[in-house]
Amino acid sequence: MRKLDVFDTTLRDGEQSAGVNLHLSEKVEIALQLERFGVDIMEAGFPASSPGDFKAVQEIAKRVKHSSVTGLARSIQSDIDKAWEALRDGAYPRLHVFIATSPIHMEYKLRKTPDQVVETAVECVKYARTRFPVVQWSAEDATRSDWDFLVRIIKQVIDAGATIINLPDTVGYTTPSEYARLFQYVRDHVPNIDRVKLSAHCHDDLGMAVANTLAAIQAGVDQIEGTINGIGERAGNTALEEVLVALAIRKDTYGCETRVQLEETSFTSKLVAKLTGMAVPANKAVVGNNAFAHESGIHQDGVLKHALTYEIIRPEMVGLKSNRMVLGKHSGRHAFKEKCDDLNLVLTDAQFNRLFDAFKALTETKKEVTDDDILALMAESSIEDVKYELEFLHVSYGMNETTAAIGIRHPNGDVIREAATGGGSVEAIFNTVERVIGTPMELIDYRLQSTTGGEDSLAEVYVKVAYHNRVVTGRGVHGDVLSASAKAFLDAINRVLIKERVDDGQIESIRAQG
């Protein structure tokens, strides 16, 4: 079996999904789960892009011990310096540096000639190798690049010290056969290609990211890149879980193995979905709610007689199992701590106390608390420095107009009481929250789902809000849909304010040090 390295970029390329705005503790939670999942490399962020991203990469590099943590850098010396500062304390630090190589990118984005691009790439790889033992070099928009130009620049960056060469399908343009031919062409024409590993990174604009990645594997790449649930910019990235399960089920075809623990797949998917607010479609392969559901009588009969008649993936392979240990109002701190440990939740004492309090409050209205309920509560209570909190909500519904009266606790401890009207309950709540905050907001998207089945299921509301020139996702969890909506609006506002404070504070710190 050929060994493949798995490069996860959920925390960098995945977080670039529109509206996703993870704060530090959420990024660390995902990183630690990715480590348990068994990824070889995780791209924790883009250190030079913002002080907040720098801090997250630095903290993850310190915390993760069994995976190599990397950060992205443009072909700029200051980016490389920033990445080294963030990653230097990691167990296995490495750099991911890129430059565009397609004619359209070189001419219109970089405004450089091909010779200048080669020179810049070589200089930056040489400089990066003075810091990092492992340097991955990426040819941005490789699949729309001239293949002979790729051969030329790849040869020179390898001579400069690159150890991994990544040929990304940056805009999701290529096809499986074409992508495989590209890797074969590079293998055949780059004389020093045996000194490096080749990596594949695909986007899903034409719905072929997984197929293209599998084609690259058959073409002999040594590393695959993607995100959990396939999240990412535009249509997203390669869904790692789909590729990994395909490799396990079709070993006869691909002849490859990884060190990923597939039984962690389901939980990893749920955690990323909860914290990013990006729901997994019910019919999604491997991790969708319907992936192992059978409604047809013929299918049900076949599965009952022998699972392999209609199930080529055993649910247990990806970590799906019945929820036997159910918590309720008589469960104490010890039982709750055991459940958190079983779910691999890494919590500080303050986070655990907040989560336990939320759990006990829930047991007053819900008889049985499931794993999904706990994950939802954890996602909601993960922000440690809350700016605004919901104290009370009263909604009065009328045929033509609805009024919402809300009490919101200000960071200074005061409770602000306001009321506003709207054409419906959600609009009235939004208008009231906007009045309390005193700054215009724009509601871009609103989504409601339940954590579990049953009449006492929790409502999970996800909103996408434009506020202070940022687009962020907020979430709220409550037994009441309208209360969950109000909490989601406040969560979005809190995320913007906390990020602004982190960025502004670190900028001032950098200036003071300078």
The DSSP bridge pattern shows strands 459-467 and 470-478 to be antiparallel
The DSSP bridge pattern shows strands 415-422 and 442-450 to be unpaired
The predicted-structure confidence for 457-476, as pLDDT tens digits, reads as follows: 889 999 999 988 888 889 89
Residue 183 has pLDDT above 80, yes or no: yes
Q: Give mean pLDDT, residues 240-253.
A: 97
Q: Give mean pLDDT, residues 433-446.
A: 92
Q: What percent of the chain has pLDDT above 70?
A: 91
CATH code of the domain covering residue 415: 3.30.160.270
Say yes or no: 77 and 208 in one domain.
yes
- Which tokens sit at 118? 């080669």
- Which tokens sit at 129? 């190798």
Per-residue model confidence (pLDDT) at position 348: 83
Say yes or no: 171 and 257 in one domain.
yes
Say yes or no: 355 and 249 in one domain.
no
Q: What angle do CA 410, 272, 387 make, to 5 degrees?
A: 5
- Report the C-alpha dihedral over residues 491, 497, 500, 501, rounded to 10 degrees: -120
At which residue do the structure tokens 């990691």 appear? 90
Contacts 24+ apart (CB under 8 A), 296-302: none
The DSSP bridge pattern shows strands 41-45 and 5-8 to be parallel
CATH code of the domain covering residue 207: 3.20.20.70
Residues, the chain, total? Answer: 514
> Residue 438: exposed, middle, or buried by beta-carbon count in 10 A (0-12, 13-18, 19+)?
exposed
Say yes or no: 447 and 423 in one domain.
yes
Neighbour tally for 131: CB within 10 Å: 16
Report yes or no on 328 lying in a domain: no
Confidence of residue 430 (pLDDT cuts 50, 70, 90): very high
Say yes or no: 296 and 426 in one domain.
no
Q: Give mean pLDDT, residues 243-248.
A: 98
Report yes or no on 283 lying in a domain: no
Report yes or no on 507 lying in a domain: no
The predicted-structure confidence for 373-428, as pLDDT tens digits, reads as follows: 888 888 777 666 667 899 999 999 887 899 999 999 988 889 999 999 999 999 99
Do 420 and 439 form a contact (C-beta atoms < 8 A)? no
Residue 302 has pLDDT above 70, yes or no: no
Say yes or no: 368 and 396 in one domain.
no
Say yes or no: 439 and 359 in one domain.
no
Full strand arrangement of the beta sheet holding 470-478? 442-450, 459-467, 470-478
The DSSP bridge pattern shows strands 197-202 and 164-169 to be parallel
The predicted-structure confidence for 349-366, as pLDDT tens digits, reads as follows: 888 888 899 888 888 877
Per-residue model confidence (pLDDT) at position 510: 39
Report yes or no on 265 lying in a domain: yes
DSSP per position, 66-120: SSEEEEEEES-HHHHHHHHHHHTTSSS-EEEEEEE-SHHHIIIII---HHHHHHH
Confidence of residue 272 (pLDDT cuts 50, 70, 90): very high
Report yes or no on 298 lying in a domain: yes
Compute the distance between CA of residue 452 and CA of residue 209 in angstroms, rounded to an integer.
31
Neighbour tally for 20: CB within 10 Å: 19
Phi, psi at 322, each rounded to 5°: -70, 150
Mean pLDDT of the chain: 90
Do 17 and 276 form a contact (C-beta atoms < 8 A)? yes
The predicted-structure confidence for 1-30, as pLDDT tens digits, reads as follows: 899 999 999 999 999 998 888 989 999 999
Say yes or no: 315 and 337 in one domain.
no
Report yes or no on 306 lying in a domain: yes
Residue 325 has pLDDT above 70, yes or no: no
Say yes or no: 100 and 181 in one domain.
yes
Say yes or no: 15 and 114 in one domain.
yes
User: The whole model's pTM is what?
Assistant: 0.85
Compute the distance between CA of residue 234 and CA of residue 204 in angstroms, rounded to an integer.
8
Full strand arrangement of the beta sheet holding 415-422? 389-397, 402-409, 415-422
Per-residue model confidence (pLDDT) at position 513: 42
Per-residue model confidence (pLDDT) at position 450: 85
The predicted-structure confidence for 484-512, as pLDDT tens digits, reads as follows: 999 999 999 988 888 787 666 554 443 44
Closest Cα to residue 59, out of 37, 30, 95, 38?
A: 30
Report yes or no on 366 lying in a domain: yes
- Which tokens sit at 481? 């849909």
Q: Give mean pLDDT, residues 192-217.
A: 98
Dihedral sign computed on CA atoms, order 443, 445, 451, 456: positive
The DSSP bridge pattern shows strands 256-257 and 2-3 to be parallel
- Tell me the helices (H) and strands (E) count for the chain, helix number first: 17, 16
Q: What's the alpha-carbon Rg for the chain, to the nearest Å?
A: 24
Per-residue model confidence (pLDDT) at position 374: 87
Q: What total number of domains does the chain contain?
A: 4
| E strand intervals along 266-422 | 389-397, 402-409, 415-422
Say yes or no: 122 and 22 in one domain.
yes
Per-residue model confidence (pLDDT) at position 324: 45
Say yes or no: 124 and 61 in one domain.
yes
Domain boundaries, position 471: 389-502
DSSP β-bridge partners for residue 407:
392, 417
Report yes or no on 305 lying in a domain: yes
Residue 295 has pLDDT above 60, yes or no: no
Do 352 and 330 form a contact (C-beta atoms < 8 A)? no
Per-residue model confidence (pLDDT) at position 323: 43
DSSP per position, 182-229: HHHHHHHH-TTGGGSEEEEEEB-TTS-HHHHHHHHHHTT-SEEEEBGG
- Give the helix/strand (H/E) hosting 459: strand 459-467
Crossing angle of helices 371-380/349-363, nearest 10°?
A: 120
Per-residue model confidence (pLDDT) at position 326: 62
- Which tokens sit at 510? 């950098």
